[in-house]
Amino acid sequence: MLRAFRFLVIAGPAVFLVTFSMSAPAQNNKSDWSFAVSGDSRNCGDFVMPAIAAKVKTENDDFYWHLGDFRWMSQPDQDMLAMLPADTHLSNQEYQQRAWDDFLVHQIASFGSVPVFLGRGNHDAVSPMTREAYIQKFSQFLDRPEIAAQRSADGASGAPIGPWYHWSHNGVDFITLDNATHDEFTEAQLHWLRSLLEHDEAPHSGIRAVVAGMHEALPHSTGAEHAMDDWAAGMHTGEQVYRWLWDAQALGLHVYFIASHSHYYSPDIFDTPYWRDHATDVVPGWIIGAAGAHRYRLPKDAKPGAKTHFYGYLRGTVHADGTIAFTLHELNEADLVQAKWPNAPLGAIHECYIHNADE
Contact 94, 74 (CB under 8 A): no
At 271 the pLDDT is: 97
Burial profile 43-55: b = 16 or more Cβ within 10 angstroms, e = fewer: bbbbbbbbbbbbb
129-134, Cβ contacts within 8 angstroms, sequence gap of 24 or more:
129/73, 129/96, 129/100, 131/163, 131/181, 134/163
What pLDDT is recorded for position 27?
Answer: 46
For range 162-176, the mean pLDDT: 98
- The pLDDT value recorded for residue 20 is 53
Q: What share of the chain is helix, strand, coil (3-state, %, to 5)?
A: 35, 20, 45
pLDDT attached to residue 28 = 46
Look at residue 194 in the predicted model and tell me its pLDDT.
98
Phi, psi (deg, nearest 5) at residue 250: -65, -25
Q: What is the 3-state secondary structure (H, E, C) of 104-122?
A: HHHCHHHHCCCCEEECCCH
Conformation bin of residue 57: beta by default, left when phi > 0, alpha when psi is -120 to 50:
alpha
Short-list 234, 233, 200, 206, CA closest to 219: 234
pLDDT of amino acid 359: 80
The pLDDT mean for the chain works out to 93
Integer-rounded Cα Rg, in Å, for the chain is 19
**pLDDT tens-digit profile of 317-352?**
999 999 999 999 999 999 999 999 999 999 999 999
pLDDT value for 145: 97
- Per-residue pLDDT band for 2 (boundaries 50, 70, 90) equals very low
Q: Give me the architecture of the 29-355 domain, per CATH.
A: 4-Layer Sandwich (3.60)
pLDDT digits (tens, 9 = 90+) for 147-167: 999 999 999 988 899 999 999
Instruction: Count CB neighbours of 176 within 10 A.
Output: 25
φ, ψ dihedrals at 33, nearest 5°: -150, 170
pLDDT at 86: 87
- What local confidence, expressed as pLDDT, does residue 159 receive? 87
pLDDT value, residue 314: 98
* Tens-place pLDDT, residues 82-107: 999 988 889 999 999 999 999 999 99
The string of pLDDT tens digits covering residues 37-66 is 999 999 999 999 999 999 999 999 999 999
Angle among Cα 92, 98, 101 to the nearest 5 degrees reads 150
Q: How many helices (H) and strands (E) does the chain have?
A: 11, 13
List of residues 6+ apart from 12 with CB closer than 8 A: 88, 98
d(CA 134, CA 128): 11
pLDDT at residue 255 tops 60: yes
